[in-house]
Structure 1
Amino acid sequence: MTPELYEQCKYAMHVVVPDGRVLRGGRASLYILHTLGYRRIATILRLWPLSWCVDLGYSLVARNRYLFARWFAKCPKS
């Protein structure tokens, strides 16, 4: 991994597809959904303006991932 790619991976998920293209952020998450068998939802979310919303949602979650981790990683009280 190059130092440049390492730095970019701190801010967004990257997926290298079989043809060599590198997808990042929302597009990478849609590719993963499609690959895992959620083809219909991934195909619908690729359409404009939904693809724009996916990218926006991904960037919001990525920028605040530590906040989300605090919410979801709490241990249950016993």
Structure 2
Amino acid sequence: MAAFLPPFTSPGDSAMLQSLSLGAAFVGIAAASDCAYVLMAELARPAFVAHPRNATIGRAVTALVYFGLGLCTAFPGVRTSR
């Protein structure tokens, strides 16, 4: 059973309570960071929709990013472990 517990849980305390509190902390941090991303995007939106040319540039940048990610996936290269 101990092999399935994270290494940062205390063996003397309740594993269930520790796991639930760590899970709740994870969900809270994830929700806060997602909300921060949404608020920053909402603040940045007027700058991107101010000129019609920005939409074209945005689509081109998005296409280049996806193309680059596809190339990185198709040709991962050789990685050495240290």
Q: Same fold (TM over 0.5)?
A: no
Q: More strand per residue: 1 or 2?
A: 1
Q: More helix per residue: 1 or 2?
A: 2
Q: Sort the TM-score into its range (normalised by shorter chain).
A: 0.3 to 0.5
Q: Which has the larger radius of gyration?
A: 2
Where relative contact order (Cα < 8 A, 6+ residues apart) is larger, the structure is 1
TM-score normalised by L of structure 1: 0.35
